Amino acid sequence: MQENRYIEDIQYETRKKLNIFHDRSPASFNHIDSYTDVDQHTLHVHPHVEVYFCISRYVDYVVGDAYYALRPGDIVIIRPGAIHKVVIREPHQYERFFIALPTDPLPEPLLAPLSALLKQTEHRSARLRPSAQVGQSIHAMLYDALSICHEGSTAQLAPLVQTRVYSLCLQILCTLCEHADDLLPAERRADRTELSELISDVYIYMEKHLKEIQNVAEIAKAVHVSPPYLSALFRKHLGVPLIYHLQSLKMSLAKQMLEEGYTVADVCRELGYTDCSYFIRIFKRHLGMTPLKYRAAFCAGKEEGDPSTLRKGGKI
């Protein structure tokens, strides 16, 4: 079990993370309550499924080509490899839960409800909006799990705590599966604002033409707006420039290609970079190491049976 708690003057952050399966599994139950500004979160990807539970107001979420305006109680299912980012509309004390679950290996008792839930979402990330009754039930189970985590401060209690939290996570997923038919039609009928339409169009275009896109001007032309307007829109509403989003998508693909055995030169060429040294600088800026070191570290981790340790994401 891993635990983190600290207080910083008036603006504070509490974190609780519990690994609920065997040591080498990334599966975990997480709670974070932190004072958060609009520019503290970045685009990132994970190799596992995330089930994100929104508790606070003033929060939106970008997942792939979708932009979701969230309400407290909303749930976002984020698939492995989907680029995503929370959007903080104004600084506030930001509370959230999330359950991180690997798709392989996955303990059999959890495999059935997770597989059913992913099938219900039609193989894409999705926002769920439970009814008041279902939302209250899930809310209660989340805080019960958090309370149990706080009890497990000794080595003797840790196995029992893991089992109890495991059970609650299983109940939450089963509840979502049982009510998926009621939740998902609402998602398909969700209203879309002009802002979300434009951002969605931008993400769709970037995903379809990721390798050949060279700059923001090409994207702006494709969605019929000016480059300054599009850049300002992304900076205002998503907290970082559009070029950073483009680079994040390219670096996510670069990681995947390196893991599949491509050379650094091949990846550089495939992603449309004519200057390999520039590509290496961008990769290091986003990943914290050069492409060559990343590939070597991934191969070493794979030989040890735990390649997921290298796939670190950004803040949620």
C-alpha to C-alpha distance for 37 and 45, rounded to whole angstroms: 21
Do 67 and 199 form a contact (C-beta atoms < 8 A)?
A: yes
Label residue 122 by pLDDT band (50, 70, 90): low
pLDDT at residue 226, as a whole number: 93
> How far out from the chain centre does Cα 170 lie?
20
pLDDT at residue 109, as a whole number: 66
Top pLDDT among 208 and 25 is at 208
Judge if pTM exceeds 0.75. no
Top pLDDT among 26 and 269 is at 269
Top pLDDT among 134 and 316 is at 134
Q: Is 94 helix (H, G, I), strand (E, B) or coil?
A: strand
C-alpha to C-alpha distance for 171 and 62, rounded to whole angstroms: 27
The average pLDDT across 173-199 equals: 64
Label residue 127 by pLDDT band (50, 70, 90): confident
Q: Is the pLDDT of residue 8 over 80?
A: no
The average pLDDT across 258-277 equals: 91
pLDDT above 90 covers a percentage of the chain that reads 22
Do 138 and 53 form a contact (C-beta atoms < 8 A)?
A: yes
Which residues, other chains included, contact 127 with Cβ-Cβ below 8 Å and sequence gap of 6+?
Answer: 61, 66, 68, 70, 74, 75, 76, 77, 187, 190
Reported as a single tens digit per residue, the pLDDT across 211-252 is 899 899 999 999 999 999 988 888 776 667 888 888 888 888
The average pLDDT across 38-56 equals: 81
* Cα separations in angstroms, 151 against 160, 246, 271, 295: 10, 43, 49, 40
Partners of residue 19 on adjacent β-strands: 28
Tell me what the pLDDT averaged over the chain comes to: 78
Top pLDDT among 23 and 76 is at 76
pLDDT above 70 covers a percentage of the chain that reads 74
Beta-sheet strand order (sheet of 13-19): 2-6, 13-19, 28-36, 92-101, 49-54, 75-78, 126-128
pLDDT at residue 310, as a whole number: 42
pLDDT at residue 265, as a whole number: 92
Most confident range, picked from 19-23, 35-39, 50-54, 167-171: 50-54
Q: Which domains does the chain have, with CATH numbers?
A: 2-188 (2.60.120.280), 194-310 (1.10.10.60)
Residue spans of beta strands (DSSP E) within the chain:
2-6, 13-19, 28-36, 49-54, 59-63, 66-69, 75-78, 84-88, 92-101, 126-128
Most confident range, picked from 124-128, 198-202, 290-294: 290-294
Do 35 and 92 form a contact (C-beta atoms < 8 A)?
A: yes
Reported as a single tens digit per residue, the pLDDT across 146-178 is 998 887 655 556 778 888 888 898 899 889 888
| Side-chain-facing half-sphere of 101: CA atoms under 13 Å | 27
C-alpha to C-alpha distance for 140 and 136, rounded to whole angstroms: 6
The closest of 56, 51, 14 to 31, measured between CA atoms, is: 14
